Structure 1
Amino acid sequence: MATRKKTGRRHPLASAALLIIGLVAAGGASAAVSTVANAEPSGAAAHSQALTMQDGAELFRANCASCHGLNAEGTENGVSLIGVGAASVDFQVMTGRMPMAFQGPQALQRDPQFTQEQSDAMGDWIASLAPGPERPSDELLDTAQVDDEGVANGGVLFRINCAMCHNVAGAGGALTEGKFAPNLHDIDAAHIYEAMLTGPQNMPVFNDNNISPEEKREIIAYLHYLDENPSPGGFDLGALGPVSEGLFIWIFGLGGVVAITVWLTSRPN
């Protein structure tokens, strides 16, 4: 009885199966890391009663001193926080960027690891070390008093000062060396104001001499207007901007027309 000779070739679907297995494994590992990074802290971080400045100092030394030093003086692993103010602490802590889950090109936004009371206590202690930007008041964040003209002015200010990194529609964009300007949709008004005031990551500082408190409020109102009013033209292609969207039309739109033309003219043959 003749036996089938082995050719030593892989099955045609073997490569595809290996690729799928690799992608599933990578996705599972990424999900596991994200779950650990966003895990709720235990002990002191679960407690939300009124805290004092001394409580803030203890929280800081327990959770932040390994990088920023026991007295916020900074180390080789983290910058000095003397003079950054309570606004910077609130932005970094309540957007989950600090404490960092792992070292990387920039801190990533995630679920906050502390309550608002704990963040405020740490911010008050940092503010006691040296003067710095304060957390914005409710009045500065009240966009209800911004009229349509103010929203339009906020759009102009945003396009002049922010769109080169964050995109004209606030969709974010890539920067150098693995860094990026984040998406600005559905962001708390306080965190937008604090980002302008403190200049986190690669963002420049827009103090009140550059952009007044009223203009900051108009920019926030404009971003919230974008949240509430989706693209009137339908699918917005991710709001990537006119260059990227124009390239998409040239490649896929014109390419599709050429492909249909070739197909129609080849049928008689």
Structure 2
Amino acid sequence: MSDRTPRSRRRPWARAGTRTRRRIAGFLALGVALLAIGGLYAVFQPTPETATAQDNTLVREGQSLYDNSCITCHGSNLQGVVGRGPSLIGVGESSVYFQVSTGRMPLKAQGAQAARKKVEYDEQQIDALGAYIQANGGGPTLPAGPETALVGSDLGRGGELFRLNCAQCHNFTGRGGALSSGKFAPVLDAASPDQIYAAMQVGPGNMPTFADSQLSPQEKEDIIGYIKSVSTATGPVNPGGNGLGGFGPVPEGIVAFFVGLAALIGISLWIGSRQ
């Protein structure tokens, strides 16, 4: 008689040992996979942008300016004050640049629309205010580089896009015009390329915003190029004769109407005298 344990009795213990080994192998494989994923993430993750000391100084300067001149209307946390000023969360440095560099802000008195006036801050202070608003509220930023880089060269396309998107309010050559409720579209002669680009980004007043999905940066630059080409500040060329103020077909139609009416009256009188 053999004293060896039958295979049928040893089989459950063998199966338990196999399951244990499989579990250990599975945990080891999972650990290796997690380590591999962590290593890949560490290799390919973007380098975080850390604020420089200069940036922090600019933000602190902007906060000081904000606390002295803007906090009464726009609130301590940029959330705005009812009846005084809107929230600045999400407007970005582009809105700050447009409003402050054109003298529209700080606002002297409440009205239907803030008009362009003498600028109260220098470029350094405007940059500081924009840095503070950007750091605490986020939003669109102006493209880096000189203003001349924003003036596109395709004036034909710029003129077409301007007529499709802007001429309804600013007229065909940026002469501006009246809107409802005491508001108006300003004349664009005094606006710099940066100011026009910022206005398209943030849509001040009744103006709509134009995201890059609607007008690409290059298309915005072409529009700016067209505006500058017809601006009276740079002396537009009028190959057809008198520019009639640059208001497009409206004054031309009026002139044609009165000239035609005078011609018809003259012809009628001549025919009557002949009879």
Q: Assess if the C-alpha contact under 8 Å between 1:140 and 1:213 holds in 2.
A: no
Q: Assess if the C-alpha contact under 8 Å between 2:147 and 2:193 holds in 1.
A: no
**What is the deviation of 1:231?**
2.3
Q: Assess if the C-alpha contact under 8 Å between 2:176 and 2:187 holds in 1.
A: yes
The residue number in structure 1 matching 2:61 is 55
The residue number in structure 2 matching 1:134 is 141
**Any residues of structure 2 matched to 1:13-52 within 5 Å, and which?**
52=58
The residue number in structure 1 matching 2:202 is 198
User: 2:125 aligns to what SS in structure 1?
Assistant: helix
The residue number in structure 1 matching 2:177 is 173
Task: Give the structure-2-normalised TM-score.
Answer: 0.70
Query: Can you give the 5+ residue segments of structure 1 that lack an aligned partner in the other structure?
Result: 1-49
Name segments (4+ residues, structure 1) moved above 6 Å.
258-265
The residue number in structure 1 matching 2:111 is 104
**Any residues of structure 2 matched to 1:248-267 within 5 Å, and which?**
248-250=255-257, 252-254=258-260
**Any residues of structure 2 matched to 1:184-223 within 5 Å, and which?**
184-223=188-227
CA offsets 1:55-91 (integer angstroms, 9 cap, x no match): 2111112111221112221012110001110110010
RMSD: 2.6
Distance 2:237 2:108 in 1: 33
Amino acid at match of 2:59: M
Amino acid at match of 1:71: N
**What is the deviation of 1:238?**
1.9
**What is the deviation of 1:119?**
1.0
Task: Give the structure-1-normalised TM-score.
Answer: 0.71
**What is the deviation of 1:257?**
5.4
1:116 aligns with 2:123: yes
The residue number in structure 1 matching 2:19 is none
CA offsets 1:15-70 (integer angstroms, 9 cap, x no match): xxxxxxxxxxxxxxxxxxxxxxxxxxxxxxxxxxx962112111112111221112
1:65 aligns with 2:71: yes
Taking a change above 3 Å as real, the CA distance of residues 248 and 176 of structure 1, as seen in their structure-2 partners, is: farther
Q: How many residues align?
A: 213
Q: Based on CA coordinates, which of the two structures has the bigger radius of gyration? A: 2
* Equivalent position to 1:160, from 158, 164, 168: 164
Amino acid at match of 1:113: E
User: 1:142 aligns to what SS in structure 2?
Assistant: helix
Query: Can you give the 5+ residue segments of structure 2 that lack an aligned partner in the other structure?
Result: 1-55
**What is the deviation of 1:122?**
0.8
Distance 2:229 2:150 in 1: 10
Amino acid at match of 1:236: G
Q: Assess if the C-alpha contact under 8 Å between 1:51 and 1:117 holds in 2.
A: no
The residue number in structure 2 matching 1:43 is none
Distance 1:95 1:221 in 2: 20
Taking a change above 3 Å as real, the CA distance of residues 62 and 117 of structure 1, as seen in their structure-2 partners, is: same
Distance 1:99 1:143 in 2: 27
